Chains A and B, each alone.
Chain A
Amino acid sequence: MDGSFQEKSARGLLAGILLVSVFYFPVALRIVEFAGNPVALVAVSVVGVVSLIIIEAVYHAAIAISGGTESDERDALVNLQAERNGGVVLGLTLFLLVGHIIAEHALRSGDGPSPLLIVVYIIAALTVSEVAKLASQIWYYRAGI
């Protein structure tokens, strides 16, 4: 598909994050639910991050070789607007997370979600905001800004 380096980069990053998330979150939630082992969660998280870095490095090298890496004022504007959207989504998801934790504490008489589960929730909030940023970036490139 035609598009600038920045647009292809956003598409690749979004696909990579979604792909890694499909494997990471079910495994991370199982670890929290059944093992409760922080070392295992860290290990899975490191594997997830390293996988994402490898996928993105290979993909970005391929698109850079095929079409260059130049960017311009439109890329800067699209990125700025997308960053803002991602920030709004991050704020919203963290607000919901705090509300959820407080509600869990209240409903379970002080026994809320475990620290490991909160870690997974925070990673999920960061992932959702990044997905929102990249999706809106792609939208602005396609629909106009």
Chain B
Amino acid sequence: MGNTRVRNNIRKLRFEHGEMTQQELAERIGVTRQTIVAIEKEKYSPSLEAAFRIAAVFDQPLEAVFTFDG
């Protein structure tokens, strides 16, 4: 339980995309803002579909957004 081993740089990507809010990102991928908060804090690993949606929002390949700390 606790932190996942999936790392991400969503916070940085949001900053680079005009300080996109967590709420805006959440609405664009169809989850709640609290889920974006949990993903950013690495307390929840998103489903593959949600991960692809997040990458698509930032126009980045999946591996540029998420990495696995295995």
Contacts and interface: CB of A to CB of B under 8 A. Distances in A.
B66 interface: no
Contact of A144 (B31, B32, B44, B47): B44
B35 A144 contact: no
A47 to B, nearest CB: 36
Contacts of A73: 31, 35, 46-47, 50
B44 A145 contact: yes
B34 interface: yes
Interface residues of A, number: 16
Contacts of A145: 1, 43-44
Interface in B1-24: 1-4
Range class of the B interface residue count: 10 to 19
B30 A144 contact: no
Contacts of B38: 74, 144
A139 B1 CA distance: 10
Interface in B21-64: 30-32, 34-35, 38, 41-44, 46-47, 50
5 contacts: A73-B46, A73-B47, A74-B31, A140-B1, A144-B4
Interface of A: 2-4, 7, 70-75, 139-141, 143-145
Interface of B: 1-4, 30-32, 34-35, 38, 41-44, 46-47, 50
